[in-house]
């Protein structure tokens, strides 16, 4: 398939100019045609009046006399003056015809066509028509003569025809007088439209220059009063974008400043321990234990710096909306199991009971055993599903478990729980611990970057919960924080009898998603029990 060609950039100036000139150029030929028709009508009027007068003059020369047998006959005699009028026109040929009472020929041109019967007019009324005579187009004036005492009887007919030479020349002169000035006016109108349009969009060019001449750090709003009213919505949209960009840049600068400050501590410790070890060697002191302590401190400082960098990268991934937008169904129970399993060695090392509670599969049942159908049975067997990005959700669970292990004393309990809504609307993820808990006044602040609860001596980056909040926001999940009220499990209390606090319980509610069963060939088609149990994952001291 051939790649789609990029769309050409349109010119606003050219598009407006086209829409203004196209009607003008389209109407101009129509104006020429209408002018020609009007000129024809104007040219016909004076010559039609002249033809009408000739018809009336000739009709006065007709007389009706009684003949033998009681019949009447019409006679016509062309006066010399009238004959001169008919033959003195040098521009056109004039023809006439006189017919008697019964249509008999009396005088004139015998070949002049008689008007159709349907065009018959009352006697004494002059009418006009276009006709052809000797292959020439002619204008004909005709009238049935009004004869006294012959009401309703046949009456004489008088016709005068004239070729169209004078009329065509007059119409042509009128057209020239009207159209020729338009050849001058039309280009002038185009030029004026061009200048008016260029002047009209000049404020846009000024606005462009003001924006282009701004310093890259100047994100102040643009003055709407200096822009045309029609552009004000665009200016307001740009100002809104500048405000959001300014807020984002300030947040990034604040974040970078905090990150740099947080990185200084482990890097400074790393440098100090390295210099201390170097001075010990230079002084000739070869105490293995002192060198070992310095190396251990260097390892801890480097590990802390690496953890900070990883958290910063995780925060960047969480804030990348384009990266988080590619979501698909994720099995939250399976993801929690895989993530918690990675923390088992650490929990064993610190004597913390780490447990996982997820919906456990029920024994295999045929699909028809579920009253809601095979699809519902398969979905339940495959675990609670949410729409999300697996990598980000794994990072969310990892940070919650890491935070719980950091603040839970030896002998304490950390539980990760995934609960599926029996109605298939919500999937709940909980991480609770038996640590010192978080005071109510600080529960909103702990989700801010680099904030750590007061009164704790735990080393951390202060980014874990901020990452959790950002990922939850990307997945439209609701996050709540409350006391867990847990105590040490029997047999896990540390000999140092470390105090246990009210603990903390983080609860996230995700919208449930419909799993695609065709992508889950490894899953069983059995139903799922709504009951949960503590998984074999827990590490017990």
The tens digit of pLDDT for each residue in 306-336 reads 766 666 666 666 666 655 567 788 899 999 9
Backbone φ and ψ of 67, nearest 5°: -115, 175
Burial code (b: 16+ CB inside 10 Å, e: under 16) for 259-279 equals beebbeebbebbeebeebbee
Average pLDDT in the chain: 76
416 pLDDT higher than 90: yes
SS3 284: coil
- Cα 355 from Cα 418, distance rounded (Å): 11
Pick from 96-110, 252-266, 268-282: least confident = 252-266
Long-range contacts of 282-286 (CB under 8 A, 24+ apart): none
Angle separating helix axes 232-282 and 288-319, nearest 10 degrees:
170
367 pLDDT higher than 50: no
The domain made up of 13-172 is a member of CATH 3.30.450: yes
pLDDT band at 530 (very low <50, low <70, confident <90, very high): very low
252 pLDDT higher than 60: yes
Nearest to 411 by CA among 431, 430, 432, 433: 433
263 pLDDT higher than 70: no
CB 170 within 8 A of CB 91: no
SS3 385: strand
Instruction: Convert the pLDDT of each residue in 515-526 to its tens digit.
Output: 443 344 334 333
Segment 69-98 shows an average pLDDT of 77
Exposed, middle or buried by CB within 10 Å (0-12, 13-18, 19+), for 162? buried
Phi and psi based region of residue 129 (left: phi greater than 0; alpha: psi -120 to 50; beta: remaining): beta
What is the per-residue pLDDT for 509?
92
DSSP 8-state secondary structure symbol assigned to residue 11: P
Instruction: Convert the pLDDT of each residue in 200-239 to its tens digit.
Output: 778 778 887 888 888 877 888 888 777 777 778 888 888 8
CB 404 within 8 A of CB 512: no
Strand bridging mode 94-99 / 105-108: antiparallel
**Higher local confidence (pLDDT), 406 or 454:** 406
- Cα 347 from Cα 81, distance rounded (Å): 137
456 contacts: CB under 8 Å, gap ≥ 6: 407, 436
Q: Under CATH, which architecture does the 228-319 domain have?
A: Orthogonal Bundle (1.10)
What is the per-residue pLDDT for 68?
63
Segment 435-447 shows an average pLDDT of 83
Nearest to 320 by CA among 463, 461, 470: 470
Nearest to 51 by CA among 132, 160, 165, 169: 160
394 pLDDT higher than 80: yes
The reply to whether the predicted model has a pTM over 0.75 is no
Backbone φ and ψ of 426, nearest 5°: -135, 145
pLDDT band at 143 (very low <50, low <70, confident <90, very high): very high
Q: DSSP readout, 100-155? A: -TTS-EEEE-TTSPPPPGGG---TT--EEEEEEETTEEEEEEEEE---TT-TTS--
The CATH number of 325-534 is 3.30.565.10
What CA–CA distances, in Å, run from 367 to 218, 229, 364?
65, 66, 9
pLDDT band at 429 (very low <50, low <70, confident <90, very high): very high
**Higher local confidence (pLDDT), 399 or 263:** 399
- Cα 405 from Cα 403, distance rounded (Å): 6
Burial code (b: 16+ CB inside 10 Å, e: under 16) for 490-508 equals eebbbeeeeebbbbbbbbb
Instruction: Convert the pLDDT of each residue in 188-201 to its tens digit.
Output: 888 888 888 888 77
H-run or E-run covering 64: strand 62-66
CB 337 within 8 A of CB 361: no
DSSP 8-state secondary structure symbol assigned to residue 505: E
441 pLDDT higher than 70: yes
What is the per-residue pLDDT for 212?
83
Segment 128-155 shows an average pLDDT of 84
431 pLDDT higher than 90: yes
Chain position carrying tokens 């482990």: 266
Instruction: Convert the pLDDT of each residue in 446-488 to its tens digit.
Output: 887 777 665 565 665 667 788 888 888 888 898 988 888 765 5
495 pLDDT higher than 50: no
**Higher local confidence (pLDDT), 294 or 221:** 221
% of the chain residues with pLDDT over 70: 72
Chain position carrying tokens 């015998």: 110
Let me know the angle formed at the C-alpha of 405 by 408 and 330, rounded to the nearest 5 degrees.
Answer: 135
**Higher local confidence (pLDDT), 438 or 492:** 438
What is the per-residue pLDDT for 524?
36
Please report, for the chain, the start and end positions of each structural domain, with discontinuous segments joined by +.
13-172, 228-319, 325-534
375 pLDDT higher than 50: no
- Cα 426 from Cα 429, distance rounded (Å): 10
532 pLDDT higher than 50: no
């Amino acid at each position: 398939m051939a790649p789609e060609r990029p769309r050409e950039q349109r010119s606003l100036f050219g598009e407006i100019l086209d829409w203004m000139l196209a009607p003008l150029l389209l109407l101009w030929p129509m104006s020429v045609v209408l002018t020609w028709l009007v000129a024809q009508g104007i040219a016909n009027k004076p010559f039609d009046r002249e033809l009408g007068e000739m018809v009336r003059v000739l009709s006065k020369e007709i007389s009706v006399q009684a003949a033998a047998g009681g019949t009447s006959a019409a006679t016509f005699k062309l006066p010399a003056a009238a004959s001169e009028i008919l033959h003195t026109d040098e521009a056109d040929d004039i023809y006439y015809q006189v017919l008697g009472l019964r249509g008999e020929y009396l005088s004139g041109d015998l070949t002049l066509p008689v008007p159709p019967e349907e065009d018959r007019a009352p006697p004494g009324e002059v009418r006009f028509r276009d006709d052809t005579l000797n292959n020439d187009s002619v204008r004909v004036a005709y009238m049935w003569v009004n004869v006294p005492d012959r009401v309703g009887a046949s009456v004489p007919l008088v016709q005068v025809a004239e070729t169209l030479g004078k009329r065509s020349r007059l119409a042509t002169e009128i057209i020239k007088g009207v159209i020729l000035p338009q050849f001058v006016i039309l280009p002038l109108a185009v030029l004026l439209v061009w200048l008016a349009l260029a002047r009209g969009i000049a404020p846009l060019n000024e606005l462009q220059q003001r924006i282009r001449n701004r310093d890259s750090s100047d994100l102040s709003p643009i003055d709407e009063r200096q822009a045309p009213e029609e552009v004000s919505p665009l200016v307001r949209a740009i100002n809104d974008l500048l405000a959001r960009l300014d807020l984002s840049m300030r947040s990034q600068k604040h974040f970078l400043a905090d990150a740099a400050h947080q990185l200084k501590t482990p890097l400074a410790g790393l440098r100090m321990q390295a210099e201390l070890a170097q001075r010990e060697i230079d002084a000739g002191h070869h105490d293995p234990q002192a060198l070992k302590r310095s190396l251990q401190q260097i390892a801890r400082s480097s590990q802390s710096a690496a953890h900070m960098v990883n958290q910063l990268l995780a925060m960047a991934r969480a804030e990348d909306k384009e990266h988080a937008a590619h979501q698909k169904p994720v099995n939250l129970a399976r993801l929690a199991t895989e993530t918690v399993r990675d923390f088992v060695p650490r929990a064993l090392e610190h004597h913390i009971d780490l447990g996982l509670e997820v919906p456990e599969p029920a024994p295999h049942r045929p699909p028809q055993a579920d009253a809601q159908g095979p699809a519902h049975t398969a979905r339940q067997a495959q675990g609670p599903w949410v729409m999300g990005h697996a990598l980000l959700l794994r990072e969310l669970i990892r940070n919650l478990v890491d935070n719980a292990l950091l603040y839970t004393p030896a002998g304490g309990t950390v539980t990760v729980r995934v609960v599926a809504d029996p109605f298939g609307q919500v999937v709940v993820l909980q991480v609770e611990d038996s640590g010192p808990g978080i005071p109510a006044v600080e529960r909103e602040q702990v989700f801010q970057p680099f904030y750590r609860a007061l009164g704790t001596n735990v080393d951390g980056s202060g980014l874990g919960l901020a990452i959790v909040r950002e990922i939850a926001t990307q997945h439209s999940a609701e996050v709540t924080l409350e006391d867990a009220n847990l105590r040490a499990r029997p047999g896990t209390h540390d000999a140092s009898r470390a105090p246990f606090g009210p603990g903390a319980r983080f609860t996230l509610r995700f919208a449930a998603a419909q799993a695609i069963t065709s992508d889950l060939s490894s899953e069983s088609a059995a139903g799922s029990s709504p009951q949960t149990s503590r998984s074999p994952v827990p590490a017990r001291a």
